[in-house]
Amino acid sequence: MHLTATHADHRSLHRELLTCRRRLHVGGARTALFNWLFAKSQGGELILRVEDTDIARSTKESEDKILEGLKWCGISWDEGPDVGGEHGPYRQSERIKAGIYEKKLEALMAEGHAYRCFLSPEELDEMRAEAERNEQAFVVQSPWANASEEEVQAMIDQGKPYVYRFRVPFDREIVVDDLVLGEVIWNSDDLGGDFVIVRQNGMPMYNFGVVVDDASMGITHVLRAQEHLMNTPRQILMYEALGLKVPTFGHMPLILAPDRTKLSKRHGAVSVGEYQKRGYLPSGMVNYLAQLGWNDGTKQEIYTIHELLEAFKMERMSKVAAIFDTDKFKWVNGHHVRRLDDDEALELIGARLKEHGLVKEVSGEFVRKASQLLRDRISTLEEAVEELVSMLEFDLEGMMAKDVAKPYMEDGALHETARLLLHAKEQGDFDGIGKDPQVMKKIAQGIGKARGGVKKKALLVPFRLCLTSSDQGPDMNIFFEMLQEVDDNVLCKCVSLEERLEMLKDKFELDQPVPC
């Protein structure tokens, strides 16, 4: 699948083979993003082309998933199989039926640039083995390159299978002025000999198909990953053989895992869909992918899509591989989660809570307040579930078994704080909790005074442990304001303030609160 972009008098191309996979890989998404940024920053249009000649792996389901992934990222197109346009058909399988490749193949054959090759797989294997035995590079030197018409026709009459090979000229220097890498030079003798352009089943090979398609669609810029660099000299030779204008190429840096190997499943999620399921935002995905091999020359790290469009310049593309850092990705995504407005937080975070059975519906004051509270505490939407459950459950036993509680258990601070909290409840000091932001502050000040003016940490840590069972968390006024809104819509376990204080009373055996 290609995304092709048009602008002004020329058209640019994103080339990243996608439909042979069953999902949109982050590498493919990044290549699509850079092409989208390039085209749109130039006031261009985008065309999507589907390369589905690998019948076994190219399915309608895989195509749909990839298109959905691109759309989720905010990458749209002006022409394609789903929207139509003047440069169709947009699937290579449909272009085969239209005879588009056949005409160009005939042109290559007529000019002597291509020929039928009847070499069997066994013969090729033997040629390859012979090269290995002689410690030489394997170069295809087909005896059919110079066969007579009579010899070829005799094989056809016998029903012998054949492929079409492109005739690589000898000792030709091929030069490309790459938008990213600068000048790159090859010698045609280093390309491995004559290469296949049409399979036995009549399907065009990648290099041949994209040359024909790019030319017929008027593509002038080809932007793709550096793993496609070795395809470039072969494609240039075919452009020239067909008398077509060679486009401008740009090969972007690869995305590697932290161990500098190819990014794969063993390094975690590698598809856009997996990250979507894990609660990453499209804006976070786009922001992070844009920084894998590109920067605008500043220290800015968080961008909106509009800021990326304004800043994008191809000359800022790096030549070296980028490392996919999942921690950094999560950090970037967290910034975008915190940028959600109240309605977006309700819709997205609320949907996660409902999906995991914490609430019945994405509505009501509890869900609204919970979404706003969680927005500032999570890096992915999926984290909202565990975070909310942890806050609402009040795991007093678990808290007291942790190292953070140990010093406050040993010096009696937890016991004393629990006693003073119960006294504050008896005195009515908790009245107005969740409504008046001064309530919690006054209770904390009273406890601090009763404990002889202890320092801030010695006061606030046991104070928070006693009320939330954690030494970290949201503003307690906001938390208890949310807790006041628990209703029938809430399905998960919620321990109220009254229940928390009662649990403290039982745990510390405080039958009668002792006044300060």
Rg of the chain in Å (alpha carbons) = 32
Question: Is the sign of the CA dihedral 176, 182, 183, 184 positive or negative?
Answer: negative
Owner of token pair 């932290």: 258
Cis, bond preceding 89 (omega within 30 deg of 0): yes
Torsions phi, psi for 128 (to 5 deg): -65, -45
Q: Under a CB-based contact definition with an 8 Å cutoff, are residues 19 and 52 in contact?
A: yes
122, burial (CB in 10 Å: exposed 0-12, middle 13-18, buried 19+): exposed
**Cα 12-15-18 angle, rounded to 5 deg:** 145
Q: Under a CB-based contact definition with an 8 Å cutoff, are residues 62 and 54 in contact?
A: no
Q: Beta 219-225 vs 10-15: how paired, if at all? A: parallel
Q: Where are the alpha helices (DSSP H) in 317-437?
A: 326-338, 342-355, 364-375, 383-393, 396-400, 406-410, 413-426
Torsions phi, psi for 311 (to 5 deg): -90, -20
Rounded distance, CA 367 to CA 344, Å? Answer: 12
Rounded distance, CA 32 to CA 26, Å? Answer: 10
Q: Which of the residues 71, 97, 160, 265 is marked catalytic?
A: 265
CB atoms within 10 A of CB 406: 12
Q: Under a CB-based contact definition with an 8 Å cutoff, are residues 284 and 330 in contact?
A: no
Q: Which helix (H) or strand (E) holds 439?
A: helix 438-450
Among this protein's residues, is 402 annotated catalytic?
no
* Cβ density class 174-198: b for 16+ within 10 Å, e for less: bebebbbbeebebebeebebbbbbb
Rounded distance, CA 104 to CA 209, Å? Answer: 10
Supply the residues annotated as catalytic. Answer: 265
